[in-house]
Amino acid sequence: MASDDPAGSPESAEFARVVGAGDRDGLDAVRDLVGNARVVALGEGAHNITEFHEFRDRLFRLLVRDLGFSALVTESGFAEGLAVDAWVHGGPGQVGAIAREGLTYRFGECEPVRRQLRWMRRWNAGRAGRAGQDASPRAGGARVSFYGMDLPGSSTSPGPAVRACLDRIPGRPGDGELLRLADLGGRTEAAVRYADMPAVERIRLLAGLDELVERAFSLDDEVARRCAASLRALVQELEGADPFPAQPYPRDAFMAETVEWILGRERRVLVSAHNAHVRRSPLDGRPMAGGLLAASAGAGLVVIATTYGSGPEVRFTQRSARPFDCEVSLGARRLAPHCVEARLEQLADERAGDRPGPGGRSAVVADLRRAPDGFFAGVEGTLAGGSLDTVDDFPAAYDALVHFRRVTPVPGAFERLRAEFAGAAGPGGPKSPRSSKSSKNCKESQSP
């Protein structure tokens, strides 16, 4: 029989434990959840959180060493990620430039990410010449790879994928002009330039992209074809292709397809993206990448979301229909009683075995497959960008939750974000919206 207080019931002790945020115990609890899964999808409740990056780094190292995982797949551009993979395999360059240019959404501009890439490069350097010697799928010895699974140019500019395609296929007259048209600049700059692009120029760009996609798909180069697929999905996003309500957005469909493609090349992979992308259940009626992947991976997929109770929260206030025309503010997270974060905070408060980590930090690791009856009663969803992402059935959406009680922002991330969005409005401030299908809602563009 379920307890009147699910957070403090004996059953809850079996499905959740409170550990120090940096403890090995937390990693071991997650490893026990993995089993024989080929894909571990690790979500994050917000971007640019230091503790989430650090946890991913530590978890990936454990999965590589103990369970033979061979690739890290991130919510970043597929085309841009090719240079990162080359670097972790010993290619030239400095990690700062590689991370800054090879990870989109500016995710590479923080030390925990650079630290993870340096570790991957060192791991591979220690295994040079051992290719083919690590036959056991559970032996931690194989070299590791890096992949992006997302659209190019932070989902606003086709330039990086056009360049990657052209580098891999036979050239034709007009390629230089296509690259000039496609290279729209940084994320917010690209969105504004595309929205303001004269109709004749936009028609030329779209025709050139369509022709490039056909050229790439006519060849046997799998990487060029994946870059071309990213261009096709990006055009659908830029042109505001609105699938039927029960259909996925092109971006999530591309991410799921890319992970499936990667599984044809790698033995076991860790996938990292926002909680909204990795969930198995639909969000607002639409299948997400995790749900699409679950259809093919089945029991071979384990989905873990990360959340937090106290720390920074970025909020967006739309000023106009122009792309990225938002007021961006940073405040402290406030927990509503109907969010899962509040329920996990209650569990941690009432658990006698609460063991804080360094600086008093602690985390809750919850196996949702063992959640006691009534634990999620009254819980409506998980927080994202100051609002609530509805979750009707938590165990159906995620296999586990890792909840950090207190987190900190990546240094400088908010300041960069605010400057980037301020630049989208231009020196004259917000302008009247131009008729365009490419206008992006601020929260949709940044939060997930």
Q: What is the pLDDT of residues 233-287, one digit of tens each?
A: 999 999 876 767 789 999 999 999 999 999 999 999 999 999 999 999 999 999 9
Is residue 441, in this structure, part of any structural domain at all?
yes
Beta bridge partners of 332: 312
Is residue 328, in this structure, part of any structural domain at all?
yes
| pLDDT at residue 9, as a whole number | 53
Beta strand 71-77 with 145-150 is parallel
| pLDDT at residue 14, as a whole number | 74
Asked whether residue 439 carries a pLDDT value surpassing 60, the answer given is no
Asked whether residue 355 carries a pLDDT value surpassing 70, the answer given is no
**Stretch 327-346: mean pLDDT:** 93
- Give the domain extent around 18: 6-128+136-446
Asked whether residue 1 carries a pLDDT value surpassing 50, the answer given is no
Condensed to tens digits (0 to 9), the pLDDT of residues 24-80 reads 767 888 888 999 999 999 999 999 999 999 999 999 999 999 999 999 999 999 999
- Tokens 């974060």 correspond to 341
Is residue 309, in this structure, part of any structural domain at all?
yes
Neighbours of 156 (CB within 10 A): 29
Is residue 357, in this structure, part of any structural domain at all?
yes
The average confidence (pLDDT) of the chain is: 88
Asked whether residue 446 carries a pLDDT value surpassing 60, the answer given is no
> What is the band of 95 on the pLDDT scale with cuts at 50, 70, 90?
very high
Is residue 36, in this structure, part of any structural domain at all?
yes
Is residue 430, in this structure, part of any structural domain at all?
yes
- Please count the structural domains in the chain: 1
Neighbours of 342 (CB within 10 A): 17
| pLDDT at residue 84, as a whole number | 98
Alpha carbon 444 to its chain's center: 13
Is residue 218, in this structure, part of any structural domain at all?
yes
Is residue 1, in this structure, part of any structural domain at all?
no
388-398 as b/e, with b when 16 or more CB fall inside 10 Å? ebebeebbebb
